[in-house]
Structure 1
Amino acid sequence: MAFFIRDDDVRLFHTDEGSGPAVLLLHGWACDSHDWSWQIPDLLTQGYRVIALDHRGHGRSSAPRGDYLPQTLADDAAALIEALGIGHVLVLGHSMGAVVGSALAVRRPDLVRALVLVDPVYTADDLTDPVVEAMSGPGAAGIAAEAFGGAFYTPRTPPFLRAWHRRRVLGTPDHVVGGCIHGLLGSEGLGRWRNAAGYLRDRTCPRLAVYADAKGADRERQLPLGPYDKVEVWEKNGHFLHQENAERFNSRMRSWLNALPGAPS
């Protein structure tokens, strides 16, 4: 494990394990890189170098004041990739992390070889400003914890996952919880489909996008699709489908990655 110091003195915690083609793991809103504990062993066994990052404000990374736009988090990831001396990376992102990974692919296409996107949150309909503001002010972590309780789960979700997620949200600083929500769902946020639809057309790398709902997948299919691109809907799965259904997810991700040029032999 290590800390990478950004130019603005932000400390970014990350782990770097294994050897081979590099995979960068980007977690979601009010979570941390522990979210990938179900995937890291499998990726290492498959011969990948695995870098798992805590976004600024999350986990063991520092939590500065300032913006938490997906583009800012993408720039953090780009700086880390360059500091580690890696060329192209495979990027695996969940929820907000899928938005960050997509922004990275747009801003720095030279660094991203392919994207695996787990239930991205860039397909939201427009929300009223009061809704965004309510999630962006004092007590944001508590409000977010209640939102986690109802929006992201299905009857198949194990109770321990619900409890773990809730406790992490409550432990995330209000200004980070609110900053990320404002960065995603503010008037110019990439979580709003009207903003994301044009922006994401500039992604040029292959992508596997796995959704828990058909609406998001339908919107994903409205974006340009290349020969390796796959968009799937996993019904009866919650937002954290890579944890709830880890064996299936790992198998699907493995088969897709192995079909890409340059996969480990």
Structure 2
Amino acid sequence: MTYTTINGNRLFHTDEGPGGDTPGETVLFVHGGTCDSHDWSAQIAAFAAHHRVIAPDLRGHGRSATPKPGSGSGSGSRSGSVSGLHPRDFAADLVELIAAVDAGPVVVVGHSLGAIAASVLAVEFPSLVRAVVAVDPPYGFEAEPIAQTAAAFHTADPIGVATTLLGGIEGPRTTPGTAALPVWHRRRILGMDPETVREIFLGLNEAATDLVVRPQVEKYLVRRACPVLTLSAANSLKIKGIDGHWDTSVSPHPYSASLVLEEVGHWFFQERPEEFNALVLGWIGGLTA
């Protein structure tokens, strides 16, 4: 079954892999803001060969329903806006989805906004999370650039702001087969409801500063008791003004690791899928040890 009603919203998801008595982990892939589970097309088959793989479209994204005004937890929502698009709302859906498909505990592989939702799961629902893989997470910023981003989404053209913002963190497109990625990413945003796009980014950059801005976020992330693998694009760390050691400092489990990839963009798992898959599968394989 590819659709399940979660917290009143119809969510699309796939569930693949051996399942049952397989010794492999259950891996939950969580995409980023204004994206969808198609982002993981180069990962699903590779991971499903060894693990059960669940890949949902978050509420308001892809084939999943957009919540109606007034739905969700109400975190950071404003009167007259599309509510229920706060990172904690996404995490609450994932909690219910894990229960609905009888999947916990899971290794959560979260990209961008999905890495924040994964961290919320690890902190607030630790029994459901075996480990977290944070892929170019958008936390660790200082307050000023986050406030500037939020202000930009209060303008009349959230679609234009989003395409410009995300277009600026695309990769160099030197790897074969990556030339069309920016077109795909841009066209996907163009097909979304403008108010939904606005609320996704305001939910992250205005209503969830405790999950994004340092030093507040440091106090939150160190509460992740599970192993955390952080994979970051070098340019993303430069923009945030930190390095890979910062991610190590907020991931206290001894099996945690932080790796920095050079000359890649925000979607480096699409640019270099073989390298990404080998890194993450190898790390997941060492969890038991």
TM-score, normalised with respect to structure 1: 0.92
SS of structure 1 residue aligned to 2:141: coil
Where does residue 11 of structure 1 map in the other structure?
10
Q: Of the candidates 167, 177, 184, which is equivalent to residue 187 of structure 2? A: 167
Instruction: Kindly state the Cα deviation for residue 184 of structure 1 after the two structures are TM-superposed.
Output: 1.5
Equivalent-residue separation in structure 2 for 1:35 and 1:170 (angstroms): 16
Q: Of the candidates 115, 131, 134, which is equivalent to residue 98 of structure 1? A: 115
Equivalent-residue separation in structure 1 for 2:248 and 2:141 (angstroms): 15
Whether 1:39 aligns to 2:43 is: yes
Where does residue 261 of structure 2 map in the other structure?
234
Structure 1 residues 184 and 75, CA gap change in structure 2 (3 angstroms) = same
Equivalent-residue separation in structure 1 for 2:6 and 2:155 (angstroms): 27
CA contact (8 A) 1:136 1:179 kept: no
Equivalent-residue separation in structure 1 for 2:126 and 2:103 (angstroms): 14
Q: Of the candidates 30, 51, 55, which is equivalent to residue 52 of structure 1? A: 55
CA contact (8 A) 1:188 1:195 kept: no
Aligned residues: 260
Equivalent-residue separation in structure 2 for 1:173 and 1:246 (angstroms): 30
Equivalent-residue separation in structure 1 for 2:29 and 2:246 (angstroms): 24
Query: Taking every aligned residue pair, what percent have the same amino acid on both sides?
Result: 38
CA contact (8 A) 1:122 1:192 kept: yes
Structure 1 residues 126 and 34, CA gap change in structure 2 (3 angstroms) = same
Equivalent-residue separation in structure 1 for 2:191 and 2:278 (angstroms): 32
Structure 1 residues 56 and 187, CA gap change in structure 2 (3 angstroms) = closer
CA contact (8 A) 1:184 1:192 kept: no
Instruction: Kindly state the Cα deviation for residue 86 of structure 1 after the two structures are TM-superposed.
Output: 2.0
Structure 2: gaps spanning 5 or more residues? 68-81
Whether 1:69 aligns to 2:68 is: no
SS of structure 2 residue aligned to 1:85: coil
Q: CA RMSD in A?
A: 1.8
Deviates more, 1:171-180 or 1:187-196: 187-196
The one-letter amino acid of 2:171's match is Y
Equivalent-residue separation in structure 1 for 2:155 and 2:66 (angstroms): 16
SS of structure 1 residue aligned to 2:127: coil
Equivalent-residue separation in structure 2 for 1:159 and 1:112 (angstroms): 35
Q: Which runs of 4+ in 1 moved over 4 A?
A: none
Deviates more, 1:244-253 or 1:208-217: 208-217
Structure 1: gaps spanning 5 or more residues? none
Instruction: Kindly state the Cα deviation for residue 33 of structure 1 after the two structures are TM-superposed.
Output: 0.1
What does 1:1-265 align with in structure 2 at a 5 Å threshold? 1-7=1-7, 9-18=8-17, 19=19, 20=22, 21-46=25-50, 48-64=51-67, 65-127=82-144, 129=147, 131-156=149-174, 158-186=178-206, 188-189=208-209, 190-213=211-234, 214=237, 215-261=242-288
Equivalent-residue separation in structure 2 for 1:92 and 1:84 (angstroms): 17
CA contact (8 A) 1:105 1:204 kept: yes
CA contact (8 A) 2:228 2:251 kept: no
Deviates more, 1:186-195 or 1:26-35: 186-195
CA contact (8 A) 1:208 1:229 kept: yes
SS of structure 2 residue aligned to 1:193: coil
Structure 1 residues 45 and 188, CA gap change in structure 2 (3 angstroms) = closer
